Structure 1
Amino acid sequence: MRLLLTVLLGFMLAVPAAVRAGAQEFVATPVEISADKVNVKGSVYYLHKVLKGHTLYSISKAYGVDIETIKAANPSLSEGLKAGMLLYIPEKPSGTAEATAAAPAVQPRRDTVQTTADERGERTAPQGKTKAAKQKKYKKYNIKWYETLDDVAVKFNVTTEAIIALNGIDPDSGKRIRAVLIPDSAYMQEFRERAPQAGTGNAGTVQEENAVLPDKRTSVTDESVPAEAQAWEWDVTPDLSGTDRCITLILPFNASRLTGSLNAYTADFYAGAMIAAADLKEKGLFSNFHLNIIDINRYGSAWELVADNALNGSGLIIGPISERDMQPIASWARSKRIPVVSPLDLKTASLLQDNPYLYLFPPQSDLALDHQLDKIAEASHSSDTTESVTVIYEQGYERSDIVSQTMSGLAERGIPFKTFKYDFLSGRGIDSLMSQSLDSVLVNRVIIPSMSEAFITDALRNLSLIQSSRGYSIDVYGMSRWKSFETVELDYFHALDLRLAMSYHIDYNSPAVISFIDKYRAAFNTEPTSFAFQGYDIMTFFVEAMNALGRDFPDGIAGVRRSLLQSDVMFEQTEPGSGYLNTAFKDICFTSGWRILNE
Structure 2
Amino acid sequence: MIRSFLFIVFLSLISIGSFAQSDKYIFHDVVEGDTKYSISKEYHISIEDLEKFNPEIKSGLRLNTKLLIPKELMKKNEEPAPTKTVGPGFTSYTVKAGQTLYSIAKEYGVSVADIRKNNPQLADGLKAGMILNIPPKAATPKETTQKKDTGDKTHTVQPGETLYSLAIQYHVGIADIKKLNPELEQDGLKVGMVIKIPEPREEVKDEIAQQQAQKAYYIHVVKKTETAYSISRQYELSLDSLYLINPTAKEGLQIGQELNIPGNRAPKETIVEKPAERLNSDEGKEIASVNDSSSQKGEDENYFLYKVKSGDSFYSLKSRYNVSQEELEKLNPEIKRGLEVDKYIIIPQNGKAEDVKWLDKLFAKETKTTPIEAPSDNKKFRKDSLNTGGEVITQVPEVKFEDTLMVNTSKTYKVGLMLPFNVVSDTVVQNSSAIEGTQKVSLDFYNGLLMAADTLAKQGMNLDLNVYDTKNSLFHLQEKSKEYRQKNFDMVIGPLFHKNVEYIADDLRKQNVPVISPLSKSVDVAGRPNLIKCNPGNAAAGQVIADMLNTEYAKARVIFAYSSSEAESVQQVRARLLPRADSNRIDDITFTKELIERNVLKDMMAPGKQNVVIIFSEDQVFLSDLISNLRLMRSYDIAVIGPSKLLKIQTLEMDYLNKLNLSMPDANYIDYNDPKTISFIKDYREKYKAEPSQFAFQGYDVGMYFLQKLWKNGKYMMYHLDDEQPMLGTGFKITKDAKGGYQNDFMYLTGVRDLTLVKLEKK
TM-score in terms of structure 2 length: 0.40
1:481 is matched by which residue type in structure 2? K
Q: Which of 558, 566, 570 is matched with 1:406 structurally?
A: 570
CA contact (8 A) 1:457 1:489 kept: no
Equivalence map 1:304-453=2 (5 Å): 304-308=479-483, 312-347=487-522, 349-350=523-524, 352-364=525-537, 366-367=538-539, 370-380=542-552, 387-391=555-559, 393=561, 400-403=564-567, 406=570, 409-410=573-574, 413=577, 414-415=579-580, 416=583, 417-419=585-587, 434=602, 437-438=605-606, 440-441=608-609, 443-453=610-620
Residues paired across the two proteins, number: 342
Task: For residue 670 of structure 2, give the secondary structure of its aligned residue in structure 1.
Answer: coil
Counterpart of 2:230 in structure 1 is none
Equivalence map 1:138-217=2 (5 Å): none
Deviations 1:219-240 (A, max 9, x none): xxxxxxxxxxxxxxxxxxx976
1:440 is matched by which residue type in structure 2? G
Over aligned residue pairs, what C-alpha RMSD do you find?
3.7
1:449 is matched by which residue type in structure 2? F
Counterpart of 2:467 in structure 1 is 293
Counterpart of 2:161 in structure 1 is none
Task: For residue 574 of structure 2, give the secondary structure of its aligned residue in structure 1.
Answer: helix
In 2: Cα distance, 1:280 partner to 1:510 partner: 20
Name the structure, 1 or 2, with higher relative contact order (CA <8 Å, separation 6+): 1
Q: Which of 729, 736, 740 is matched with 1:566 structurally?
A: 729
Q: Which has the larger radius of gyration?
A: 2
In 1: Cα distance, 2:462 partner to 2:408 partner: 8
CA contact (8 A) 2:543 2:573 kept: no
Deviation at 1:265, TM superposition (A): 2.9
Q: Which of 247, 272, 278 is matched with 2:448 structurally?
A: 272
When residues 329 and 445 of structure 1 are mapped into structure 2, their CA distance, relative to the original with a 3 A threshold, is same
List alignment gaps of at least 5 residues for structure 1. 1-237
Task: For residue 346 of structure 1, give the secondary structure of its aligned residue in structure 2.
Answer: coil
Counterpart of 1:527 in structure 2 is 691
2:746 is matched by which residue type in structure 1? A
Q: Give percent identity, aligned residues only.
A: 24
CA contact (8 A) 1:250 1:320 kept: yes
Counterpart of 2:289 in structure 1 is none
CA contact (8 A) 2:498 2:520 kept: yes
Deviation at 1:525, TM superposition (A): 0.8
Counterpart of 1:490 in structure 2 is 654
1:255 is matched by which residue type in structure 2? V
CA contact (8 A) 1:371 1:501 kept: no
When residues 495 and 580 of structure 1 are mapped into structure 2, their CA distance, relative to the original with a 3 A threshold, is same
Equivalence map 1:494-505=2 (5 Å): 494-505=658-669
CA contact (8 A) 1:391 1:449 kept: no
Deviation at 1:524, TM superposition (A): 1.0
When residues 510 and 328 of structure 1 are mapped into structure 2, their CA distance, relative to the original with a 3 A threshold, is same
In 1: Cα distance, 2:706 partner to 2:572 partner: 36
CA contact (8 A) 2:519 2:535 kept: yes
Deviations 1:359-378 (A, max 9, x none): 122223x3365234323344
2:516 counterpart of 1:516? no
Deviations 1:61-115 (A, max 9, x none): xxxxxxxxxxxxxxxxxxxxxxxxxxxxxxxxxxxxxxxxxxxxxxxxxxxxxxx
Deviations 1:554-589 (A, max 9, x none): 13214x32212221222223324x212222222211
In 2: Cα distance, 1:318 partner to 1:596 partner: 31
When residues 517 and 427 of structure 1 are mapped into structure 2, their CA distance, relative to the original with a 3 A threshold, is closer
TM-score in terms of structure 1 length: 0.50
Deviations 1:112-134 (A, max 9, x none): xxxxxxxxxxxxxxxxxxxxxxx
In 1: Cα distance, 2:565 partner to 2:616 partner: 9
CA contact (8 A) 2:605 2:611 kept: no
CA contact (8 A) 1:453 1:488 kept: no
Task: For residue 570 of structure 1, give the secondary structure of its aligned residue in structure 2.
Answer: strand
When residues 500 and 569 of structure 1 are mapped into structure 2, their CA distance, relative to the original with a 3 A threshold, is same
List alignment gaps of at least 5 residues for structure 2. 1-405, 429-434
Deviation at 1:547, TM superposition (A): 4.2
Task: For residue 492 of structure 2, give the secondary structure of its aligned residue in structure 1.
Answer: strand
In 1: Cα distance, 2:572 partner to 2:503 partner: 39
Counterpart of 1:250 in structure 2 is 418
